[in-house]
Structures are given as C-alpha cells and as structure tokens.
C-alpha cells in the first residue's frame, strides 16, 4: 500500500510537472505575441513555442479525459462547466478590450479566435470522446488524423465555434486518451532513451528553425490551425502535406517532453495543479499590459527577450494564486445530475 501511494504521488507530480512546463510556454508565447514581429529572436521563440505547445497540452487534456469517458458519460458537469467558462472568458476579454480602448464592439459569442477557443474545444472533445472510443484505438487515431488533414480543404473552416481547431487538434486529444505508461511499457521504453538526446532535439529544432524560418513560411502557417488552406494561400495538396509533417513533428516534441520532464515533486509542481486559473488570468493581464502601454517601455534585442521572460514568470506566479483556481473551477461543481435527480424524485 505504501508503494502504491508513493507511485500515485509520483505519477501526479510527473503530470503536474508536464502541465507546469507547458503553462510556462503558454504564458511566454502569449506575452511575446505583441513584439514577435519587431525582433527576430522574439519571432523565433514564438514560432518554436507555437510549433508544439498546444498539441502537447491537448495531448495531456486527452490523457485526463479517461475517467470521464469511461465512468461519467452521464454527468453533464464537465460539459456545462466548459461552456460556462468559455462564456466567462470571452466576456472578460471583451470587457477588458472594450473598456481600455473605449470602442465597444459586438460580443463575439460564436467566434472563438483567441484563448477561449480551448474551452470550447474541450466541450466538443469531452462531448464526443465517450462515443468516439468505440471506433477503436488505431482506427480512431487514423480517422482523427484524416479529419484533421481534410478540414483545411473546407473554405468555411475558421474561428466560428473554433471548428477548425477542434478538428485539427483532435488527433492529439485522442492520442492522449489512449496513452498509458503501462500500455506495452510505452513510457518505460521511451524513457530508456537518454534525456540528453531529447534535450538536444528540443534545442536543436530551435536552431534549425532559425536557419530555415524564412524559407518555410507556408508550412508555418498551418500550425495556428484556425484557417482553411485556401485562406492561407496554400493549395489543398500542399496544405495536407504540411499539416501531416507538422503532426509528425509534434509527436516527436511530445515524446521528447515525456522523456525529459522529471517525475518527482519539484518547486514548480504546484503550478501544474492550477493551470485553469493561470490560463485565464495571464491572458487578461497580457491584454491589460498592452492597453496601458507596458510594451512601449521595454527594451530591444536580448534585453527585450529577458524582460518578456521575467514578466511572464512573474505573471505565471501571480496567476497561480489558489483563489483564481478555486473561482474558475466552480462551473465544474454544479452537480447538475444530482440536483436533477432530486427534482425528479420529488415529483
């Protein structure tokens, strides 16, 4: 029993470490956007992060959907929670931008082009996954990849209800759902590869990207997953090939991440337990900083990059306040099924 408890703690720490690492990349990625076109270094860091960080996060989300898909298909709390959180997040971003700019635009209820898209996609993924798994592991993965490749050929695919991203990122969600470290010893086998090789791969891709970035602009367009190939001025054939290559690259990044992230509890492990609050609060702060002119007072070159990283870390730590996590987890604790059952029993 003691060994089981230790294994559980270690396992939780491992996944929290992965989530904490990815959340740092999310925060840095969002805070570097306003300056990514002004500095080559900032642009490269932005592209390197966006090359894999969201596919990896979707993979982790898929991994943690197992319990819902296998035991709680009749519980609507998750689905309703994601929808409520999407509306709250969209509303808060809308209020911040309208309030600081003084220009009131229509509320983007159905257009999920910014950070809240993830909440909407989580709603769709959780809605589908309990039934999708009946297709089978390999057939399901193959079908998800094919849909992800073909959605780009639809000219109507875009930010409306985040349909494009829902389909494009779905293969990573399915892969995460089926990932199991006890499944044929996958995790044990890949961890036999030296962590140094994975580190070299992660760092090496940055320098490769630095050398070829100007030559692969069409390819880099597909990583945002929010437009059709036609909208990106790419032929359907080229778009499908680019996206397939991107899928393969993302898989390599995810494997490398699974290898190098430590399993023991560390000083930053707690951050991985509070990702919901961080995801929402940091994005709001980024918009506030833009509107009050913080970016106008930053330096240039390497100094700018250091300042962005320092600001991102500070915002990450502030956003990890337990109270934020508590508040933004409330939509998932409505106990709808339980309350509905009580109402029915009273009739």
pLDDT tens per residue across span 175-225 = 999 998 654 444 555 555 568 888 889 999 999 998 998 888 889 999 999
Q: How confident is the model at residue 346 (pLDDT cuts 50, 70, 90)?
A: low
pLDDT at 280: 97
pLDDT tens track for 105-133: 899 999 998 999 999 999 999 999 999 98
pLDDT at 29: 96
What is the three-class DSSP state of 183? coil
Mean model confidence pLDDT for the chain: 89
pLDDT at 4 over 60: no
Per-residue pLDDT averaged across 273-290, rounded?
A: 97
Q: For residues 56 and 62, what is the distance between their CA atoms, to the nearest angstrom? A: 10
Comparing 8-22, 197-211, 234-248, 301-315, the range with the smallest average pLDDT is 8-22
pLDDT at 103: 87
Backbone phi, psi, residue 160, to 5° = -60, 115
Per-residue pLDDT averaged across 257-269, rounded?
A: 92
- Least Cα distance to 168 among 270, 81, 242, 77 occurs for 242
pLDDT at 32: 96
Whether 326 contacts 281, CB under 8 Å: no
Boundaries of every domain in the chain:
2-346
pLDDT at 8: 42
Percent of the chain with pLDDT over 90: 72
- Least Cα distance to 115 among 271, 226, 269 occurs for 226
pLDDT at 73 over 80: no
Q: How confident is the model at residue 9 (pLDDT cuts 50, 70, 90)?
A: very low
The residues, ordered by sequence, that sit 6+ positions from 124 with a Cβ below 8 Å of its Cβ are 166
pLDDT at 40: 86
Whether 14 contacts 261, CB under 8 Å: yes
pLDDT at 158: 85
pLDDT at 193: 56
Count how many residues are written for the chain.
Answer: 347
pLDDT at 303: 94
Token pair of 104 as six digits: 């009131």
């Amino acid at each position: 029993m003691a060994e089981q408890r230790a294994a559980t703690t270690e396992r939780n720490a491992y996944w929290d470490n992965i989530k904490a690492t990815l959340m740092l990349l999310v925060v840095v990625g969002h805070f570097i956007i306003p300056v990514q076109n002004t500095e080559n270094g900032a642009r490269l860091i932005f592209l390197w992060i966006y090359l894999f960080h969201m596919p990896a996060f979707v993979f982790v989300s898929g991994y943690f959907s197992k319990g819902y898909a296998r035991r709680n298909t009749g519980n609507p709390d998750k689905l309703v929670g994601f929808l409520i959180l999407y509306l709250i997040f969209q509303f808060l971003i809308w209020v911040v931008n309208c309030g600081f700019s003084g220009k009131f635009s229509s509320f983007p209820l159905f257009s999920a082009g910014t950070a809240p898209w993830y909440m909407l996609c989580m709603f769709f993924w959780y809605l589908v996954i309990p039934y999708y798994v009946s297709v089978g592991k390999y057939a399901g993965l193959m079908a998800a990849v094919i849909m992800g490749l073909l959605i780009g050929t639809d000219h109507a695919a875009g930010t409306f209800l985040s349909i494009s991203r829902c389909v494009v990122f779905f293969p990573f969600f399915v892969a995460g759902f089926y990932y199991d470290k006890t499944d044929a010893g996958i995790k044990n086998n890949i961890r036999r590869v030296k962590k140094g090789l994975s580190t070299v791969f992660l760092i090496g891709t940055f320098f490769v990207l630095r050398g070829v970035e100007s030559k692969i602009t069409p390819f880099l367009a597909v990583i945002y997953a929010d437009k059709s190939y036609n909208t990106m001025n790419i032929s359907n054939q080229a778009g499908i090939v680019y996206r397939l290559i991107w899928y393969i690259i993302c898989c390599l990044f995810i494997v490398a991440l699974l290898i190098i992230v430590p399993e023991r509890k560390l000083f930053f492990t707690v951050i991985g337990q509070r990702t919901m609050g961080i995801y929402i609060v940091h994005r709001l702060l980024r918009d506030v900083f833009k509107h009050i002119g913080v970016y106008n007072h930053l330096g240039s070159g390497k100094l700018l990059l250091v300042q962005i990283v320092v600001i991102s870390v500070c915002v990450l730590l502030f956003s990890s306040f337990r109270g934020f996590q508590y508040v933004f987890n409330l939509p998932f604790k409505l106990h709808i099924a339980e309350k509905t059952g009580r109402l029915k029993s009273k009739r």
